[in-house]
Amino acid sequence: MEMMKTLTAFYFSGTGNTRYITEYLCGKLAPGFSCEIYEIARADDAARKIRQADVVLLAFPIYGSAPPIPMRQFVHKNGGLLRGKQILLVETQYFFSGDGAASLGRTVKKYGGNIIGAEMFNMPNNLADCKTFSVKNGPEIRKKLARARKRADRFAKRILEGKVRRRGFSPVSHGVGYFCQRKFWWNCESSKRNRLKIDPARCVGCGLCAKNCPAENLVFQDGRIKPNGTCVLCYRCVNLCPRKAITLFGAAPPETQYKGPRE
Ligand SMILES: Cc1cc2nc3c(=O)[nH]c(=O)nc-3n(C[C@H](O)[C@H](O)[C@H](O)COP(=O)(O)O)c2cc1C
């Protein structure tokens, strides 16, 4: 009898979208794979897990057509183990990235990873303090999530049939991703990392943001919450703060906070 292949998924998710679609997709892949799912920050002994996996799935949200810093770091740290490994890429976005999946895929390829599939999923917006894009919750996002699940169904079917689909890997997508977004994003990323604003008039020092920050950026200092320059722009704190005291890109606090796909 043929042994079932092991698929190990590593994800980074600021506000839950990427986690949601990763878990859904792995559920759909269960007939062909024995799946394990890990958040990269909590994946103890990731090196051993990668070595033992037949297929490694990397899932991440897109930020300005670029992968988040923690996912880039994860790939560089474990790059040596990716040589010859079968890799699946899952990227989530609000509506546009051009080559979101390939933005990490190119790095994976440099390390010798064999990309057997890549897909990009439109998910609800989490940029809560950015006036250009509104945030929606509950019934208003159900259609979008249903569409994402359908796409995951098709992607899973292809993987199970052994068919390769690598969305975002064409030269046109590459050019669009770079010239429409990344070219400007790198400056934006570095300038915003130190600019997280916490309104002292609103903050009551409850510590929810510090407890949930995936980058240990928010710390207590003299009884107050202070950012320490390690922000990865994931927007978890902006969306979580019960007092709407935190802003990042916008000038004003968010009107609506994103509650995540399960709310
Ligand atoms: C800093 C930042 C930049 C983003 N840039 C883009 C973008 O360029 N294109 C896009 O369609 N969505 C963009 N988004 C939206 C997220 O990629 C999208 O909502 C994603 O599904 C969030 O995933 P998560 O809940 O797993 O963190 C951005 C979000 C953030 C926080």
Binding site membership of 94 for ligand 1 (Cβ less than 6 Å): yes
Instruction: Please give the Cα distance from 62 to 100 (Å, whole number).
Output: 6
Q: Is 260 left (phi over 0), alpha (psi -120 to 50) or beta?
A: left
Looking at the chain, the domain(s) classified CATH 3.30.70.20 span 195-247
What's the mean per-residue pLDDT of the chain? 96
Binding site membership of 18 for ligand 1 (Cβ less than 6 Å): yes
pLDDT-based confidence at residue 2 (cuts at 50, 70, 90) = low
* For residues 158-163, average pLDDT: 96
Q: State which ligand 1 atom lies nearest to the alpha carbon of 234.
A: 31
Instruction: Please give the Cα distance from 1 to 9 (Å, whole number).
Output: 25
Top mutation candidate among 125, 145, 237, 248 for ligand 1, by most atoms within 8 Å of CB: 125
pLDDT-based confidence at residue 127 (cuts at 50, 70, 90) = very high
* For residues 236-260, average pLDDT: 96
Looking at the chain, the domain(s) classified CATH 3.40.50.360 span 5-183
Q: Is 81 left (phi over 0), alpha (psi -120 to 50) or beta?
A: alpha
Instruction: Please give the Cα distance from 247 to 244 (Å, whole number).
Output: 8
What is the structure's pLDDT at 106?
98
Binding site membership of 239 for ligand 1 (Cβ less than 6 Å): no
CATH number listed for the domain at residues 5-183 = 3.40.50.360
Binding site membership of 69 for ligand 1 (Cβ less than 6 Å): no
Tell whether the model's pLDDT for residue 98 goes beyond 90. Answer: yes
Q: What is the pLDDT of residues 14-56, one digit of tens each?
A: 999 999 999 999 999 999 999 999 999 988 899 999 999 999 9
Tell whether the model's pLDDT for residue 164 goes beyond 90. Answer: no
Is the pTM above the cut of 0.95? Answer: yes
Query: Residue 32 Cα, ligand 1 centroid: separation in angstroms?
Result: 30
Fold of 195-247: Alpha-Beta Plaits (3.30.70)
Task: Give the C-alpha distances (Å, rounded to integers) separating 134 from 63, 141, 188.
Answer: 17, 12, 20
Q: Between residues 42 and 91, which one has the greater pLDDT?
A: 91
* For residues 173-191, average pLDDT: 97
SS3 110: helix
